[in-house]
Chain A
Amino acid sequence: AQKVTQAQTEISVVEKEDVTLDCVYETRDTTYYLFWYKQPPSGELVFLIRRNSFDEQNEISGRYSWNFQKSTSSFNFTITASQVVDSAVYFCALSEGTTSGTYKYIFGTGTRLKVLA
């Protein structure tokens, strides 16, 4: 079955530390997309990044970087030099087609990151 696992329920770091959030997925499809979303205390999920299954290049955006490894079915997210504003719940998600021709998103249970000043 399709599944997204975020084993880290909560992580606490001190400001300026680097932190990596883990995401492991399971899918039968050869074509799929992976996403990361941030949910700040306001509640709205904010899209951070999308990666397709054929693109294994790592990506860096400012202090954020993502490491996609198809061989281990992982799509990990690293925040460098964390800041208090990074405190949020982070969700990893998988999008894939279904047999009925539609598609669905499957979310992990989220990792709560607390960055302490």
Chain B
Amino acid sequence: DGGITQSPKYLFRKEGQNVTLSCEQNLNHDAMYWYRQDPGQGLRLIYYSQIVNDFQKGDIAEGYSVSREKKESFPLTVTSAQKNPTAFYLCASSQGFSTYNSPLHFGNGTRLTVT
């Protein structure tokens, strides 16, 4: 079955350490996204990529970095510069970047806790 795989499901890190969240999709989708979910705040866009080797900042990109070396993969690094990194992170993909009627397909998320 096609889908999006995020790993790990739970991640614990010490403050000051960088951490990378994995996101892999086998849906052959061009566009991929990273969202952050905090209680009562809905989903906020961190970064998105519409094609390999290209990505754009979302609404809350500070303290995060991404890469898109392969169509299937869009890892997110939470750097030590991110002031409040503890959150639930969701990766998503959609078919094509030229049409905005494509629904997003989501992974199961990674819950990051930084202490």
The A contact surface, by secondary structure, is: strand
The answer to whether A43 and B42 touch across the interface, beta carbons within 8 angstroms, is: no
* B92 contact set on A, CB distance < 8 A: 45
A35 to B104, CA, bound (A): 9
Within 8 Å by CB of A95, from B41, B88, B101, B109, lies B101
Within 8 Å by CB of B101, from A44, A52, A108, lies A52
Within 8 Å by CB of A47, from B42, B103, B107, lies B103
Contacts A43-B88, A109-B40, A109-B42 given; indicate if A33 touches B100 (C-beta within 8 A): yes
The answer to whether B104 and A109 touch across the interface, beta carbons within 8 angstroms, is: no
The answer to whether B109 and A43 touch across the interface, beta carbons within 8 angstroms, is: yes
Contacts A43-B108, A44-B108, A102-B56 given; indicate if A110 touches B42 (C-beta within 8 A): yes
Q: Is A25 in the interface zone, CB < 8 Å from B? A: no
Q: Is B61 in the interface zone, CB < 8 Å from A? A: no
> Which of A37, A91, A102, A108 counts the most chain B CB atoms within 10 A?
A102
- Chain B's interface size range is 20 to 34
A32 to B42, CA, bound (A): 20
Nearest residue (CB) in B for A110 is B42
A42 to B3, CA, bound (A): 15
Q: Which residues of A contact B (CB under 8 A)?
A: 9, 32-33, 35, 37, 42-47, 50, 52, 91, 93, 95-97, 102-105, 107-110
Q: Jot down 22 A-B pairs with beta carbons below 8 A, ordered by A.
A: A33-B100, A33-B101, A35-B103, A42-B108, A43-B88, A43-B108, A43-B111, A44-B107, A46-B106, A47-B103, A50-B101, A50-B103, A91-B42, A93-B104, A102-B97, A104-B48, A104-B58, A104-B100, A107-B35, A107-B44, A109-B41, A110-B42
Q: Which residues of B contact A (CB under 8 A)?
A: 33, 35, 40-45, 48, 50, 56, 58, 88, 90, 92, 97, 99-101, 103-109, 111
Q: A47-B104, A91-B42 are in contact. List 18 more A-B contacts (CB 8 A).
A: A33-B100, A33-B101, A35-B103, A43-B90, A43-B108, A43-B109, A45-B92, A46-B106, A50-B103, A93-B104, A95-B101, A96-B100, A103-B100, A104-B100, A107-B35, A107-B44, A109-B40, A110-B42
